[in-house]
Chain A
Amino acid sequence: MTTYQRKQFLELVQQFRLATEANREALASKYAALTQQQASHGAPLQSVLGFCMEEAGSKERAEAMFNYVLSRCDIVYWPLPSVEPSLRHKREVKQAAYKHAMVPAKLTKHILLLCGTNPHDIDGIREMFTLAAMGEQYPIFVLSEPGRIAKALIQFA
């Protein structure tokens, strides 16, 4: 985890009251170990929000976490994330998508629609835009559930 990711992680953990002050670091270590393992296997990295939702303890609480994030930002919710067909064979796009838990959902002459779970992941948006946009498309970012993003990521070749 980078320092920025770690800061975000600890903020989310605190917001969702997932751990006591003493256990926050343990939870951060658990997340770091998990994502390291995923990276070594070339698997999509678990998003911070997805991890928190899994740690929630119940489905209702996990849902409430996502709704909380949604209600706290102006970003539009998108229920149908899928990988733009013309980008499914692009290796670099896939790697960035796996790393940031973000999919390029639509690419036209004028629009690049990116769908992710982390409204603060500016680096991810920038990287995905650089790799996926072919011209000067307008970038638009929308939010979806970690589970739906994970399913969409499988569409990459």
Chain B
Amino acid sequence: MNAQDIPLPPQTLSEVYRTIAQRHEIDPAKLPKDKIEEDEFMAALAYNKGSPLVESSDLTEEMVSMCQQSSRELDPKGMAEYKFVPMTIRGQTLLVISSCPWDPMMVDVISGYFPQCSQVRFAIASPRTLEHLLAKLQGEAPAPVAGYTPAQPVASSRPLMPPAQSSPAPPAPSAPPKAPLPPPPTPKYSPPSKPAEAAKQATAAEDGLLSPEDTTYLANLWLQEANKLLARKRITKP
């Protein structure tokens, strides 16, 4: 497996390489990245995140049944799209198996379906293992409700509009949900810009109106909420 197959944030990726290099007692710069096995890569990732690693051999009947019970209200297609499977709830803590817990949308989306859980904790699985688990869930899932037609994806939930400035990918999978972009400097409203008005916007900030970055931020925020609503409709069985 190439590490590039897993869309990790650059910082997380370099931490994984550093961890592997430390284990082999070599300089991270000299680490032969293309020769790292998937198992070792995922193990280092799990170790860095302090999360258990779920591998194909761990997908016992007991675990699958537990996941099936926790995900019975969710549509497998939605779980596949967002790359997670809820495993169990303990108190107010939800344990989720995910192949990309660093996704900033992840905690937001999951929290939407499990509002009773104030904490989300992750077990990490490789994309292949998660697919394996989802296949098992689908294979054993009860037949869909008569008349139910899964909602067609109207728009891709990811990526959102590109941020105005390129910023490093957010870390901390188990951290509480964070806004994907920094808060706007001024909570003022400005209508979306039109091409002809683009030139005028340059002076908008000086006039006390929203800057193009603010507008992008607001548009992102709007899109994010829209995506959440769409995802909720798509993922929840009627």
Residues of B within 8 A of A71 (CB): 91-93, 118-119
Pair A76/B50 contact, Cβ less than 8 Å:
yes
Which secondary structure dominates chain A's binding surface? Answer: mixed
Which secondary structure dominates chain B's binding surface? Answer: mixed
Chain A positions 38-95 with a Cβ under 8 Å from a chain B Cβ? 63-64, 66-67, 70-71, 74-80
* Separation of A28 and B51 alpha carbons in the complex (Å): 33
User: A76-B121, A109-B39 given as contacts; is B52 within 8 A of A140 (CB)?
Assistant: yes
Pair B63/A80 contact, Cβ less than 8 Å:
yes
What class of interface size applies to chain B in its complex with A?
20 to 34
Residues of A within 8 A of B221 (CB): none
Number of chain A residues whose Cβ lies closer than 8 Å to a Cβ of chain B: 26
Question: Can you name the residue of chain B whose Cβ is closest to the Cβ of A113?
Answer: B52
Residues of B within 8 A of A66 (CB): 90-91
Q: Is B23 an interface residue (CB 8 A)?
A: yes
* Separation of A142 and B119 alpha carbons in the complex (Å): 15
Pair B46/A77 contact, Cβ less than 8 Å:
no
* Separation of A79 and B66 alpha carbons in the complex (Å): 9
Residues of A within 8 A of B66 (CB): 79-80
Q: Is A108 an interface residue (CB 8 A)?
A: yes
Q: Is B27 an interface residue (CB 8 A)?
A: no
Within the complex, the shortest CB–CB distance from B117 to chain A, in Å, comes to 11
Q: Is A111 an interface residue (CB 8 A)?
A: yes
* B residues lining the A interface (CB < 8 Å): 19, 23, 39-40, 43-44, 46-47, 50-53, 55, 58, 60, 62-63, 66, 87-88, 90-93, 95, 118-119, 121-123, 174
